[in-house]
Structure 1
Amino acid sequence: MTSTASAAALPQPFGPAHVADPHATYRRLRAQAPVHRVALPDGSPVWLVLREEDVRAGLSDPRLSVDKRHAAGGGYRGFDLPPALDANLLNMDAEDHLRLRRLVSQAFTPRHVETLRGHIRATAERLADALEQELASAPCADLVAAFANPLPLTVVADLLAVPVPDRPAFSTWANTMLDPSGREQLATAVAEIHRFLLGLVAARRANPGTDLLSALITARDEGDRLSEDELVSLAFLILLAGSENSRHLISTGLLTLFQHPGQLAALRADPGLVPQAVEELLRHAHPNHMAIRRFPTQDVEIAGTRIPAGDTVLLCLASAHRDPDRYPDPDRFDIHRSDKAHLALGQGMHYCLGAPLARMEIQIALHTLLERFPRLVLATGPEQPVWRTSFRSHGLTRLPVAVGASES
């Protein structure tokens, strides 16, 4: 099949059945072929890469660019953002990517992240206190709103010294942007985030501090090491990516543990297993099913399939993580799995800058919840988990929890 195939004639696998069970879709497609030409829900044609071996190679292939300037017309390009939000690391390759990455990398090294441990623990304990009070006066509470969302948002907003009163509004706009009910809502959310970040940069420029945003402004104003759009885009990416992924891993991770009571019991009995449980959760339940779209800078061949330059390539992380040629019994969630290597945090140049911080946040979150709430259970009754599902991601927007009965 060539790239000239009509999008209308292409398979469209991302319908209601996919929403109900996305891994069944990937399993079926992967068994048929390692690479598929399919249409997305909006009709955009893409090449979907499914095997772990090919996804891993594709993440490090310099011929697969994230720069939208290499995209041919008609393919999937991602969000349509203004330049002041779009000039970020997720749209840059090579020298530009490395230049911006160096400006912020010191804030996310394992050594520096370790200095944040006490603050993250204190934040988690404070949120646990509030959750405990809520559960004492109500039959259930939403873990996403009460804990999973505010923990990473607080940590990353503190890095940039975002004023506390502004944080809920940013979170609301981000949720709308990532899960819009229509183009008008999406445009409004993007405009509000743009306006907010421009105001934040202007305020910090007038009154600099010791935070990361102040350091980036200094690099812009005194060192001329990034453009104004790149400055605002970096702040946008750090706030959005730094809060979104951890939020979903905390909530989806806890739900996964509720669904596997034997694994949850093992963690409660030995909290020292939490780090390896987090790695298995990253493999088994990571919310991002696709890596950011790529565009070949030249014709490439993946698993025997020729993909023309400029076409959109989606490397399917969720399929790779359930590839039976890579993982024995891949659909089984097992915190004792000996080989928990995964691609959830990327590979190569675009390996997640905030990986050490994300791991620490999720580990501390699970430690705190397991210790503070030994009888926490998934709530029963009218309140049910609510998923935000698209072809790209599968994350919880609500997770009702309750305190279970004490053991006799």
Structure 2
Amino acid sequence: MTKNSTFLSVNPFSSDFKDKAYSLYEQLRIHDPIHKTVMPNGNTAWIVSRYEDAAAALKNERFKKNLFQFVRPEEVGVPASRMDLLLRHMLNSDPPDHTRLRSLVQKAFTPRMIEKMRARIQEISHWLIDKVEAQESMELIRDYAYPLPIIVICDMLGLPNEERDQFRTWSHAMVSAFNYPERYQQITSEIDQFTSYIKALIKKCRLDPQEDLLSLLTQAESEGSTLSEQELVSMIFLLIVAGHETTVNLIGNGMYALMQHRDQLEALRDTPALIDSAIEELLRFMGPVEFATNRWTGEDYEWSGKTLAKGDVVLIALASANRDPECFEHPERLDITRGNNHHIAFGSGIHHCLGAPLARMEGRIAIGTLLGRLPNMKLAVAPDRLEWQPTYIMRGFTALPVQFG
């Protein structure tokens, strides 16, 4: 390893990173698996690229999730009250706060509630395809991958579907600032609109509770504890964003990968029973999340010959870990029959994605229905014309034109 090695300048925040990420990850895993880089705000960050290290880091109690221990609102010009409203959720908390928040949400986000959505997800999938089938083409993200999960999460929360385009505007604005606290001052209008809207819904639910997730959250109680209004707003923000952004990318990336590997698409189309293993392989091969959400080093820490200082950011590259040849045989191959697929696309440990069962169900139904209804789907543009979402945390396309005549 020399200081002139190209992988020493890995910058996951650059505009062209996504195009070359997998080849860079390969170099990092071989030569510098705990790799030092610099955040856009100048803070030191460490990219964790090997599966074994990533799995360990996801459960390492030395790495903290509560950004308020390391980022003060006055440092980024955002009022504390505004940051609190959107960021005081379980994804940004450590035990014991995390334990309390997750236990409250789990009481409402049950397997039974998720299973109840199966028929509705199928209905939405057919309805969206009905709308475009005669055109023999569509923009897969706009026409299918986005509306399906946003309708589902709106239904679950009891939110009006006619607001879903507004939710996406708010969601994209806030995802663009995710893990860039200094950017929140640029989207104060979107934050205020969103929080005012959610507060009004919470007030309505408390006066007239219904059989929906939002009402259940307002009533959730565990050992005498309930969610405060601040925690409710923050949690609903998390559920709306995480409840659809990840699934949009799962559907979009999954169909892209299948269209680029026609033998696998045809195998799944001809044998629909492979859908469960196919979804797990698509999550591994081209998952919806590039990096796990930020962790901070809680104390100075020696790790694999590197010195991580207190407050350094830890970036766990899920996309790299899921292609580690030390853990997966021929990881560069898409194999929908792959067994024992222990990918970490949804994270691991106490912060494992609470909505993973719902995302899996949506992915199975959405992709299975597409292949059943539109079996000849293919890309309508060259792959190099596709654009990635401008956020380092996610891996997904801004648009995916397809044809299926």
TM range (shorter): 0.7 to 0.9
> Is the 2:57–2:316 contact (alpha carbons within 8 Å) kept by the matching residues of 1?
yes
* Alignment pair present for 1:257 and 2:261: no
> Is the 2:292–2:315 contact (alpha carbons within 8 Å) kept by the matching residues of 1?
yes
Tell me what 1:147 maps to: 144
How far residue 353 of structure 1 moved from its aligned partner, in angstroms, is: 0.5
Query: 3-state DSSP class of the match of 2:402?
Result: strand
* Alignment pair present for 1:31 and 2:30: yes
Tell me what 2:5 maps to: none
**1:53/1:368 CA distance change after superposition, 3 Å:** same
Tell me what 2:159 maps to: 162
Query: 3-state DSSP class of the match of 1:394?
Result: coil
> Is the 2:107–2:220 contact (alpha carbons within 8 Å) kept by the matching residues of 1?
no
Paired AA for residue 115 in structure 2: E
**1:44/1:73 CA distance change after superposition, 3 Å:** farther
- Tell me the alpha carbon deviations over residues 44-71 of structure 1, each in whole angstroms, 9 at most, x when there is no partner: 3211111110110110112211011332
How far residue 150 of structure 1 moved from its aligned partner, in angstroms, is: 0.9
Within a 5 Å distance, the mapping from 1:220-369 to structure 2 comes to 225-369=226-370
Within a 5 Å distance, the mapping from 1:4-83 to structure 2 comes to 11=9, 13-14=11-12, 15-71=14-70, 82-83=83-84
> Is the 1:176–1:186 contact (alpha carbons within 8 Å) kept by the matching residues of 2?
yes
How far residue 224 of structure 1 moved from its aligned partner, in angstroms, is: 5.0
Paired AA for residue 96 in structure 1: D
> Is the 2:170–2:190 contact (alpha carbons within 8 Å) kept by the matching residues of 1?
yes
Paired AA for residue 11 in structure 2: P
Distance 1:227 1:84 in 2: 11
How far residue 183 of structure 1 moved from its aligned partner, in angstroms, is: 6.9
> Is the 2:108–2:220 contact (alpha carbons within 8 Å) kept by the matching residues of 1?
no
Paired AA for residue 204 in structure 1: C
> Is the 2:218–2:227 contact (alpha carbons within 8 Å) kept by the matching residues of 1?
no
Within a 5 Å distance, the mapping from 1:109-258 to structure 2 comes to 109-133=110-134, 135-136=135-136, 140-179=137-176, 186-219=187-220, 225-258=226-259
> Is the 2:88–2:230 contact (alpha carbons within 8 Å) kept by the matching residues of 1?
yes
**1:327/1:219 CA distance change after superposition, 3 Å:** closer
> Is the 1:89–1:101 contact (alpha carbons within 8 Å) kept by the matching residues of 2?
yes
Paired AA for residue 103 in structure 1: L
Percent identical residues: 39
> Is the 2:219–2:226 contact (alpha carbons within 8 Å) kept by the matching residues of 1?
no
How far residue 391 of structure 1 moved from its aligned partner, in angstroms, is: 2.7
> Is the 1:19–1:390 contact (alpha carbons within 8 Å) kept by the matching residues of 2?
no
- Tell me the alpha carbon deviations over residues 240-268 of structure 1, each in whole angstroms, 9 at most, x when there is no partner: 10111001110111011000001001001
How far residue 382 of structure 1 moved from its aligned partner, in angstroms, is: 12
How far residue 100 of structure 1 moved from its aligned partner, in angstroms, is: 1.5
Tell me what 2:3 maps to: none
Distance 1:22 1:294 in 2: 21
Query: 3-state DSSP class of the match of 2:396?
Result: strand
Larger deviation, residues 292-301 vs 311-320: 292-301
How far residue 366 of structure 1 moved from its aligned partner, in angstroms, is: 0.9
Calculate the TM-score normalised by the size of structure 2. 0.88
**1:343/1:165 CA distance change after superposition, 3 Å:** same
- Tell me the alpha carbon deviations over residues 220-241 of structure 1, each in whole angstroms, 9 at most, x when there is no partner: 7x96512211011111111110
Tell me what 2:180 maps to: none
> Is the 2:18–2:388 contact (alpha carbons within 8 Å) kept by the matching residues of 1?
no
Paired AA for residue 165 in structure 2: P
> Is the 1:107–1:113 contact (alpha carbons within 8 Å) kept by the matching residues of 2?
no
Task: Note the residue ranges of structure 1 that are not aligned, 5 or more in a row.
Answer: 1-9
Distance 1:124 1:72 in 2: 42
* Alignment pair present for 1:370 and 2:371: yes
How far residue 16 of structure 1 moved from its aligned partner, in angstroms, is: 4.5
Calculate the TM-score normalised by the size of structure 1. 0.87
Distance 1:48 1:328 in 2: 23
> Is the 1:290–1:317 contact (alpha carbons within 8 Å) kept by the matching residues of 2?
yes
Tell me what 2:4 maps to: none
The alignment's C-alpha RMSD in Å is 2.7
Distance 2:184 2:89 in 1: 22
Paired AA for residue 240 in structure 2: L
Paired AA for residue 174 in structure 1: S
> Is the 1:376–1:403 contact (alpha carbons within 8 Å) kept by the matching residues of 2?
yes
> Is the 1:70–1:296 contact (alpha carbons within 8 Å) kept by the matching residues of 2?
no
Tell me what 1:7 maps to: none
Query: 3-state DSSP class of the match of 2:315?
Result: strand
Distance 1:382 1:94 in 2: 44
* Alignment pair present for 1:390 and 2:391: yes
Tell me what 1:3 maps to: none
Task: Note the residue ranges of structure 2 that are not aligned, 5 or more in a row.
Answer: 1-7, 178-182
- Tell me the alpha carbon deviations over residues 293-321 of structure 1, each in whole angstroms, 9 at most, x when there is no partner: 11222333332323222221111111111
How far residue 179 of structure 1 moved from its aligned partner, in angstroms, is: 3.9
Paired AA for residue 60 in structure 1: K
